[in-house]
């Protein structure tokens, strides 16, 4: 049964907020080196996503480098990224990051980067740094930019459904117009529990 079939054909449980386990994806296990970065330095997932998306240099990269150094993760590239105001063209910066990740002995696939980004948003929600609704909105908006690929597509579909929640109850979802934020927060909680290797120790310990 595909996602939409699960969405509309399960039995309704309108009295309580329970996100069905069927809605929670188990993402591919990240490589050991990537897992270490994700677990030791919160926010790494966002930077892996930016790397795959070939974004330009920004303050976020510098802050991430500071965090790596604070955790005792040090390479020439990290020191350079943290210590200098880099002025590079996008192609130069992409080459610089490629070298930096080679220094870390990290190989990053598109799929792992996408999953890492989703889990970084989930962590922010669990830590109380943002609302669950804003997390769903950001992930749903990202879907068109990557041709509606997983894992963003599910959030895009849910956003459409939630926009209509005032007019219908989605059978079997536990989602109602009076519990949207609670439901979304529980969704992220279950996502973290299902994919602990993408998350920092502090968030995993909350479960």
Q: What angle do CA 19, 22, 24 make, to 5 degrees?
A: 70
- Whether the ω angle into residue 141 lies within 30 degrees of 0, i.e. cis, is no
Q: What is the pLDDT of residue 80?
A: 92
Q: What is the pLDDT of residue 55?
A: 87
Q: What is the pLDDT of residue 198?
A: 96
Tens-place pLDDT, residues 14-28: 457 789 999 999 999
Tens-place pLDDT, residues 37-81: 999 998 999 999 999 998 888 889 999 999 999 999 999 999 999
Tens-place pLDDT, residues 157-195: 888 777 766 545 566 788 888 888 999 999 999 999 999
Q: Which 8-state DSSP code applies to residue 11? A: P
Residue 77: name the closest of 56, 55, 102 by CA. 102
How does residue 12 score in pLDDT terms, banded at 50, 70 and 90? Answer: very low
The larger pLDDT score, comparing residue 6 to residue 201, is at 201
The set of residues, in sequence order, having a beta carbon less than 8 Å from that of 156 and lying 6+ positions away, is 139, 140, 143, 144, 148
Tens-place pLDDT, residues 93-147: 999 999 999 999 999 999 999 999 999 999 999 999 999 999 999 999 999 998 9
Q: What is the pLDDT of residue 24?
A: 95
pTM: 0.86
């Amino acid at each position: 049964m595909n996602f939409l079939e699960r969405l509309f054909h399960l039995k309704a449980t309108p009295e309580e907020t329970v996100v069905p386990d069927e809605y929670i994806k188990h993402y591919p296990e990240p490589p050991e080196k990537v897992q270490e970065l994700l677990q030791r330095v919160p926010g790494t997932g966002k930077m892996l996503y930016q790397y795959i998306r070939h974004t330009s240099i920004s303050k976020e990269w510098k802050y991430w480098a500071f965090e790596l150094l604070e955790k005792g993760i040090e390479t020439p590239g990290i020191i350079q990224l943290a210590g200098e105001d880099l002025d590079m063209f996008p192609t130069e910066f992409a080459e610089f990051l490629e070298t930096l990740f080679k220094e870390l002995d990290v190989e990053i696939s598109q799929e792992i980067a996408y999953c890492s980004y989703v889990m970084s948003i989930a962590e922010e929600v669990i830590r109380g740094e943002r609302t669950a609704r804003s997390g769903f909105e950001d992930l749903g908006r990202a879907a068109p930019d990557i041709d509606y690929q997983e894992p963003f597509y599910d959030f895009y579909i849910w956003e459409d459904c939630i926009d209509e929640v005032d007019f219908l109850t989605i059978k079997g979802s536990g989602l109602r117009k009076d519990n949207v934020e609670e439901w979304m927060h529980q969704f992220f909680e279950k996502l973290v529990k299902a994919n602990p290797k993408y998350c920092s120790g502090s968030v995993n310990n909350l479960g």
